[in-house]
Amino acid sequence: MTTVILTAHGSADPRSPANTRAIAGHLRRVSPELDVRVAFCEQNSPNLRDALLELPGLHDRVVVAPLLLAAAYHARIDIPALIVDAGVSVRQAAVLGEDERLLQVMRQRLGEVGVSRFDAGLGVLVAAVGSSKPDANARTARVADTLARGTRWAGAEVCFATGARPSIAEAAERLRQRGATRIAVAPWFLAHGRITDRVAGYARDAGMVMAEPLGAHRLVAAAVLDRVEDALVDVAAA
C-alpha cells in the first residue's frame, strides 16, 4: 500500500489543521487504496519528522504531499529538512501551484458571496501570502490574471498580506484606477487563520466583500491526488 503523508505548515489557529484533516478525509474516501496520514511542519501534531519515524518497513511507496500553494520556503527548505532529519528516503510531491481546479474553487467561493463575472464595475483582489522569492510571487500573480479571463471585471490584482508588495491597499488603488467601483477579495489560502482574519478585517472596514478560502473542497483533494500520482510515476520511471 502507498502511504501518503499530507503535510501542511501548521498553525496556532485550530481552523487550519482541521482543514488539513478534512482534506485527508476526502482523499481516504476517493482513494481507499492509499494509507493517508496527516503531518505538519510546526505548531501542530504530529510533526512530519515524527510521522516519518512511525512508518513501518520500507519507504519506497511513501509520498510526502505538501498541502501548500506555492513552492516557497516551506516546500523548498522545511519539508526536505524534516525528511532528512528523519533519516528516511521518501518521495516529496510537488506543491498545488496554480492548478485550474483551485481556480474553479475560487470562482465558486466568489459566486457564493454574489460576485458575477459580468460585473463591469467590479475589481477582484487575490490576497495571498508573500514570499521572499520573486518568482514565487510572480506565479501567484498569474492567479489573478487567469481568474479575470472571460469576465467583464474592471480587473483583478494580486496583493500580499505578508512580506511582499503590492499591499492590499496598493492593489485596491490599482483597481480603482482601472475603473473598479466595487472590490471583492478572493483569498488564495487553503484555510482560515490569523492572516485571513486580518485581511477580512481590512475588507470589512473598506466596504469590500470577501469570499471564503479554498477550504476542504473535493477539487483541492483532487489536485493533491494528482501530485501524489505524479510522484509515484517518477518513482516507477526511476
Q: What is the mean pLDDT of residues 211-220?
A: 98
Contact 74, 66 (CB under 8 A): yes
Chain segment 127-163, per-residue pLDDT in tens: 999 888 888 888 889 999 999 999 999 999 999 998 7
116-152 in b/e form (b: 16+ CB < 10 A) is: ebebeebbbbbbbbbbeeeebbebbbebbeebbeebe
Chain segment 53-88, per-residue pLDDT in tens: 999 766 668 999 999 998 888 889 999 999 999 999
Closest CA to 63 of 41, 94, 101, 22: 94
Chain segment 83-123, per-residue pLDDT in tens: 999 999 899 999 999 999 999 999 999 999 999 999 999 99
CA–CA distance, 35 with 98 (Å, rounded to integer): 26
Q: How many CA atoms lie within 13 A of 76 on its CB side?
A: 8
CA angle 94, 96, 101 (to 5 degrees): 140
State the greatest distance between any 2 C-alpha atoms of the chain, in Å, as a whole number.
61
pLDDT at res. 1:
82
Task: Give the DSSP H or E segment for 16.
Answer: helix 15-30
Go through the domains of the chain in sequence order and give each one's CATH number.
2-97+217-234 (3.40.50.1400), 100-210 (3.40.50.1400)
pLDDT at res. 234:
65
pTM summary value: 0.92
What are the distances in angstroms from CA 128 to CA 26, 92, 176?
Answer: 24, 24, 20
